[in-house]
Amino acid sequence: MGKNARNIRKAKNRRKLLGIILITGIVFFLLGFGFSYFIGNFNKGNNYTGNINKTGDAEESKNIDEKEEETKNGAEGTNDAANDSQDDEDVKPSPSVTVKEPDSLSPSNPTAPNVQKLDVKVLEQLDNKKLSWWYRPNTNNKPSTIPDDISELIGKYDGIFQGDTSKKVVYLTFDEGYENGYTPMILDALKENDVKAIFFVTGSYIDRNPDLVKRMLDEGHQVGSHTVNHPSLPDLGYEELENELLGLEEKFYEKFNAGFRYMRPPMGEYSERTLAATQQLGYKTVFWSFAYDDWYTDKIRGADYAYNKVMENLHNGAVLLLHAVSKDNAEAMDRIIKDIKAKGYEIRPFDL
């Protein structure tokens, strides 16, 4: 019994030892396998992260390179464009400027004032007898006429009363001694019909109506001198005459930075001496080939009256004198302009 018991215990101990060895082996095997798996994944993870960074750096570098290339190409393109532009400038002629024929140019006021002075020694040798302007109207729309001696006299000193009678042209001229509220209506009619005129103004008109004078200039009309105070020129001494003409231009230039080319003598009164004096100061004296008593503001006879007066006396080369103080003229102006054109006449800017 004792020997068998010992044998049984030894056998159990051997089985226990083998179990322990087996379990220990299994544990070590599992530990080894787990360790190897962990190490492998760790290295793989490091490699993956390194690849991401490397790829990102490459892409970023690639993007930078592409941008630099684009910038370089853009700069080269700009340089090429600049070179092409320079080449074009070298090859292309300057932009052409269309030079209009003199007849198609719109006349305007000079941009510099007259600086001439009267030559008194010359003027003293000339007759100062006062003359009043007049003309012979003709029927059937024939040009007006003046005596031969008067024609010769005003022609000698660049005087004007009528244009080219061989052409169907008409000139509108307005005298502006003072404002009666109708000039805006006249300007509206001129603008609507694309017609240019000339307005002869006095010193008081410039002082009291600068906005209207500016509008005349801005809308392409000419402005002429009607003297400072509207006196009869032959009644003046040399200094007064010079002041009436140059004094108005000084005032006009100060306000509008422009001078005068034409002068209309107040009341149409003149002499050889005043014609010569006007010429010496750089102006042309402007008379007229048609006028009527439209300066009476208390004689309102209606637009039809003004219209008929103008149309009955229409003729080739006509220089029409109209007073802007007339309500009749203002109300008839649009119709007058339209029917002058309908009869085949051209209303020209004053260019005589």
Which amino acid, one-letter code, is at 89?
Answer: E
128, two tokens: 């100062």
Identify the pLDDT of residue 9: 63
d(CA 340, CA 324): 19
How far is the CA of 238 from the CAs of 16, 136, 274, 277, 315, in angstroms? 155, 32, 9, 9, 38
Neighbours of 334 (CB within 10 A): 17
Bin 116: left if φ > 0, else alpha if -120 < ψ < 50, else beta: beta
Does 87 participate in catalysis according to the annotation? no
Identify the pLDDT of residue 117: 85
Contact 108, 222 (CB under 8 A): yes
Q: Pick the catalytic residue: 175, 221, 226, 315?
A: 175
pLDDT tens digits for range 250-302: 999 999 999 999 999 999 999 999 999 999 999 999 999 999 999 998 889 99
Cβ within 8 Å of residue 208, ≥6 positions away: 178, 179
Q: What is the pTM of this model?
A: 0.69
d(CA 340, CA 342): 5
Contact 141, 168 (CB under 8 A): no
Q: Pick the catalytic residue: 221, 226, 315, 323?
A: 323
Is residue 192 very low, low, confident or very high in pLDDT (cuts 50, 70, 90)?
very high
How far is the CA of 281 from the CAs of 157, 241, 270, 284, in angstroms? 11, 10, 15, 9
pLDDT tens digits for range 201-219: 999 999 999 999 999 999 9
Is residue 110 very low, low, confident or very high in pLDDT (cuts 50, 70, 90)?
confident
Identify the pLDDT of residue 113: 63
| pLDDT higher at 301 or 85 | 301
pLDDT tens digits for range 53-66: 333 333 333 333 33
What mean pLDDT comes out for the span 233-242? 95
Does 339 participate in catalysis according to the annotation? no
φ and ψ of 321, to 5 deg: -95, 120
